[in-house]
Amino acid sequence: MLNLNMFLLLSSILFSIGLAGIVINRHNLVVLLMCVELLLLAVNTNFIAFSHYLHHIEGQIFVFFILTVAAAETAVGLAILMLLYRKRGTIEIDKMDMLKG
Amino acid sequence: MSFLLTQHFPIELVCFYTFALLLLISAGMVVLSKNPVQSALYLILAFFASAALWIMAEAEFLGLILVLVYVGAVMTLFLFVLMTIPFENLLLKKKHWTYLLSGIVVIILFTLLMLKIFAPFQMLSLTANVPTSVSNTEAIGLQLYTTYLFPFELAGLILLVAIIAAISLSAKYNRQKIVVNVNEQINVTAATRLKIIKMAAEPKIAKDEPHA
């Protein structure tokens, strides 16, 4: 029987995969942004599951807004990445040490 | 084949496990793959599997929006940006396995944390849903344009700000110091640009000797 537990477990494993991706990944800024997308996907799945099992539509409305903000954030993040690539010539995270003391 | 649709075959569990496994495997490959373009494609697969799961949870509008907006716009944007970077710069040169241990610890701790919260939710199930007369899109619309109208307008404003930010960050400006007046340019006559001077003919000058 498909219950809420399974959706929540799925969303938490997805969230931790995204989180581990951010921690493990040290070589590429684009993969970092993709792992942030994974985090947001996990949270959205969580909201959808709760919205379904508690019979409230507000969960889906919040997902709507999260999708909007995630798309906006991705666009701005990629614009910053392109600018960084133009100035630094690389997108490795280890090379972004301009603020290092 | 009709045994798949009988009461005894747990079709929804099979569908859920299939799409959930696809989702988790492609999410793992996003993180572990050497090539960021492959990561992007695995992420697209993850979004498709996730859209299938959302449609199973009766959120059809959002499942389709996920495919249209997220895959169709955001991931396309990712791939376009990846296209502008030369390929040799993208590949993983050496793996940083020192961070892998902390990554695994993060996964285990976080999943344990979530498992502690799961206990009260075992009773609820998918089939206890009361079917309503409105479709999912209509139900979202009924709330979105009445109760949540202000956040909806703010979301539009956020998108506007994002457009302005993205364009102003990545646009290349042509530094044009000379301003051209097109009217003047096409009304030019030869008399204003050329002056013909009459000179008397002069004797031919011998060429200089080359350097000795």
Q: What is the mean pLDDT of chain B?
A: 83
Chain A hits for B24, CB-CB cut-off 8 Å, are: 10, 13-14, 17
A88-92 contacts: CB < 8 A, separation 24 or more?
Answer: A90/B89, A91/A28, A91/A29, A91/A30, A91/B85, A91/B89, A91/B90, A92/A27, A92/A28, A92/A29
Cβ separation of B62 and A48 shorter than 8 Å?
yes
Tell me the C-alpha to C-alpha distance, in Å, between residue B119 and each of A8, B41, B114, B122, B124: 11, 35, 10, 6, 11
> Chain B closest CA to A99's CA: distance in Å?
20
Q: Tell me the per-residue pLDDT of B155-205, one tens digit each, with 9 for 90 and over.
A: 999 999 999 999 888 887 776 667 778 888 888 888 888 898 999 988 888
Band of pLDDT at residue A24, cut at 50, 70 and 90: confident
Closest-CA residue in chain A for B115?
A9
- Is residue A84 within 8 angstroms of chain B, CB to CB? no
DSSP string, B66-109: IIIIIIIIIIHHHHHHHHTS-HHHHS--S--GGGHHHHHHHHHH
**A–B interface: beta-carbon pairs under 8 A:** 227
Q: What is the pTM of this model?
A: 0.80
Residue B97 CB-density burial (10 A; 0-12 exposed, 13-18 middle, 19+ buried): exposed
The model's confidence at residue B4, banded by pLDDT at 50, 70 and 90, is low
**Nearest chain A Cα distance for residue B144, angstroms:** 7
> Who among A2, A5, A31 is closest to B36 (CB)?
A31
Tokens, residue B69: 């907006």
Of B49-53, B82-86, B87-91, B168-172, least confident by mean pLDDT is B87-91
Q: Does A27 touch chain B (CB under 8 A)?
A: yes
Burial zone of B51 (CB within 10 Å; 0-12 exposed, 13-18 middle, 19+ buried) = buried
* Residue B46: pLDDT band with limits 50, 70, 90: very high
Q: What ipTM, to 2 d.p.?
A: 0.93
Query: CA–CA separation, B7 vs B174, rounded Å?
Result: 68
Please indicate whether, in this complex, the C-beta atoms of B103 and A63 are within 8 angstroms of each other. Answer: no
Of B33 and B125, the one with more pLDDT:
B33
- Specify whether the CB–CB gap between A2 and B13 falls below 8 A: yes
With a CB cutoff of 8 Å and minimum separation 6, the contacts of A47 are A59, A60, A62, A63, A66
Give the span between the Cα atoms of B89 and B92, in whole angstroms. 8
Kindly state the average pLDDT of the residues A76-86: 90
- The H or E element that residue A51 is part of is helix A29-53
